[in-house]
């Protein structure tokens, strides 16, 4: 039986690399964003002013993903900020994944810029794993214009750890026998699933490296970190039994949220935002042919304080109107009038689309009709675009996108004629 071989492929500085490649190969630009202090960042006027991706030269100024544009500019005044173009990123991601599928039928897209590939038994076709990885890496650069790192091992965890070694444009191995030399000397914070909070707890236990974590007493870790203690101990020892999932994993819930361009101070406007969010959430639920039973509403106020409230519905639903009504009810129950910066709707308890509705003698709503109308609107929007049908309340310009949340309209495309392409 062939030894299990797993690749983890990670695009280097994905958003920025994709933007740089597009500007050079499609717009005729001469300036490579990857060679100067640059970043992909949101629009400060729309209160999305954070760093989404950065170049290696920008990293030298200690610019971090997630910090505000103001903070980044203070560190590097000449930092070039390019607007996000998620439509482009989705196309690049699809092209990247399609190349990987030429090498194995088992490809798991982990995120927009990461994927696992099960290469077990492929040696007869593509040679030893290191040679196959180099071929994939070079082909991606040759055909798509951006670089990737590839990690190779016998399981997903070690392959992912390997791909995070020296960047960019590298192939690294991390087989079980290489763990003591290559992984154990690293800081515990470098281990997958060890976040900032867990790192602090480990430090209080005198654990600073992955090796120290691997040799720690599992019972002590469990006492301090609960179930996560067992998980990080196993990871530190290179143990991972998960398989490469080539098919999409069913959603456990659906949600969307949006940052509003101004502080909302009245319930009527807030409920319009919730309606726009309900439109996008319900559309995704119907697309996957499921229903949901739990709805949660989240509010982040102008002081960035977050609070949420949820309820269990009497019957599973996929109807926009029903989701919006429940969201508004939750909103009325817990909003205290503090100006709102950010709103979200999240759902859970996913059920099959054929789940029966609990009948109520006193409820005369024709739910079947509402569901048919929603499905009809979905079909029209898929064929003619999201703006082909909108509710009358959004017909007048009110500053709220009628299908809000997720990737906002202004981030889906960029008018490059208004930009200076070097």
pLDDT in tens, 74-103: 999 999 999 888 889 999 999 999 999 999
Which tokens hold the place of 4?
Answer: 């299990």
Phi, psi of 160 (to 5 degrees): -65, -45
- Under 8 Å CB-to-CB from 195, ≥6 apart: which residues? none
Q: Which range is least confidently modeled, 13-17, 21-25, 351-355?
A: 351-355
Q: Are 301 and 336 in contact (CB under 8 A)?
A: no
pLDDT in the model for residue 248? 72
pLDDT in the model for residue 260? 86
Greatest mean pLDDT among 150-159, 254-263, 395-404: 150-159
How many CA atoms lie less than 13 Å away from 386 in the CB half-sphere?
Answer: 13
DSSP state of 103: T
Is the pLDDT score of 236 beyond 70?
A: yes
Q: How confident is the model at residue 364 (pLDDT cuts 50, 70, 90)?
A: confident
pLDDT in the model for residue 363? 77
Give the pLDDT mean for 44-63: 81
- State the catalytic residue, choosing from 19, 108, 114, 279: 114
pLDDT in the model for residue 285? 95
Greatest mean pLDDT among 64-78, 329-343, 399-413: 329-343
Is the pLDDT score of 409 beyond 60?
A: no
Residue 42: which of 22, 18, 68 has the closest Cα? 68
Is the pLDDT score of 327 beyond 80?
A: yes
CB-count exposure of residue 90 (10 Å: 0-12, 13-18, 19+): middle
State the sign of the Cα–Cα–Cα–Cα dihedral 308, 294, 375, 290.
Answer: positive
**What is the chain's length?**
422
Residue 38: which of 60, 26, 54, 27 has the closest Cα? 54
DSSP state of 2: P
pLDDT in tens, 115-137: 999 999 999 999 999 999 999 99
Is the pLDDT score of 397 beyond 90?
A: no
pLDDT in the model for residue 422? 67
- Is position 114 annotated as part of the catalytic site? yes
Residue 403: which of 365, 377, 370, 371 has the closest Cα? 377
Give the pLDDT mean for 290-315: 92
DSSP assignment string, 121-150: T-HHHH-SHHHHHHHHHHHHHHHHS--EEE
pTM: 0.77
Residue 300: which of 357, 242, 342 has the closest Cα? 342
The whole-chain average pLDDT of the chain stands at 91
Give the pLDDT mean for 244-261: 83
Which tokens hold the place of 363?
Answer: 């409820």
Is the pLDDT score of 50 beyond 60?
A: yes
DSSP state of 209: B
Q: Which domains does the chain have, with CATH numbers?
A: 1-174 (3.30.70.270), 183-236 (1.10.150.20), 255-407 (3.30.1490.100)
Give the pLDDT mean for 245-268: 86
pLDDT in the model for residue 356? 80
pLDDT in tens, 265-285: 999 999 999 999 999 999 999
Q: How confident is the model at residue 401 (pLDDT cuts 50, 70, 90)?
A: confident
How far is Cα 156 from Cα 130, in angstroms, rounded to an integer?
Answer: 16
Name the more confident of 359 and 118.
118
């Amino acid at each position: 039986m062939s030894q299990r071989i797993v690749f983890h492929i990670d695009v280097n500085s994905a958003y920025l690399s994709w933007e740089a490649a597009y500007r050079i190969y499609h717009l005729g630009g001469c300036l490579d964003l990857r060679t100067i202090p640059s970043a992909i960042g949101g629009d400060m006027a729309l209160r999305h002013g954070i760093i989404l991706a950065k170049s290696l030269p920008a990293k030298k100024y200690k610019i971090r993903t997630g910090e505000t544009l103001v903070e980044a500019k203070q560190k590097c005044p000449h930092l070039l900020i390019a607007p996000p173009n998620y439509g482009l990123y989705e196309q690049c991601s699809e092209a990247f994944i399609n190349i990987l599928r030429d090498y194995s039928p088992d490809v798991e897209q982990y995120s927009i810029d990461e994927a696992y590939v099960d290469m077990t038994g492929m040696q007869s076709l593509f040679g030893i794993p290191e040679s196959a990885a180099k071929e994939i890496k070079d082909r991606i650069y040759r055909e798509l214009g951006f670089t990737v790192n590839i990690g190779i091992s016998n399981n997903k965890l070690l392959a992912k750890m390997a791909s995070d070694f020296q960047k960019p444009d590298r192939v690294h191995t991390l087989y079980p026998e290489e763990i003591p030399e290559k992984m154990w000397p690293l800081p515990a914070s470098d281990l997958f699933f060890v976040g900032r909070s867990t790192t602090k707890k480990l430090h209080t236990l005198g654990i600073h490296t992955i090796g120290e974590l691997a040799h720690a007493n599992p019972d002590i870790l469990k006492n301090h970190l609960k179930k996560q203690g067992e998980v990080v101990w196993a990871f530190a020892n290179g143990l991972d039994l998960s398989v490469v999932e080539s098919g999409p994993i069913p959603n456990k819930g659906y949600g969307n949220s949006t940052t509003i361009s101004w502080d909302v101070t009245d319930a009527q406007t807030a409920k319009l935002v919730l309606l726009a969010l309900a439109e996008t959430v319900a559309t995704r639920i119907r697309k996957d042919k499921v229903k949901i039973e739990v709805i949660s509403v989240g509010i982040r106020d102008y002081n960035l304080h977050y609070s949420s409230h949820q309820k269990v519905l009497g019957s599973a639903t996929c109807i926009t109107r029903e989701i919006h009504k429940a969201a508004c009810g939750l909103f009325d129950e817990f909003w205290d009038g503090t100006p709102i910066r950010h709103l979200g709707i999240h759902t859970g308890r996913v059920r099959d689309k054929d789940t029966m509705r609990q009948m109520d003698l006193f409820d005369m709503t024709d739910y079947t009709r509402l569901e048919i109308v929603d499905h009809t609107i979905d079909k029209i929007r898929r064929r003619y675009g999201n703006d082909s049908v909108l509710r009358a309340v959004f017909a007048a310009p009110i500053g709220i996108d009628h299908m809000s949340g997720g990737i906002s309209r202004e981030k889906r495309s960029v008018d490059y004629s208004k930009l200076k392409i070097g």
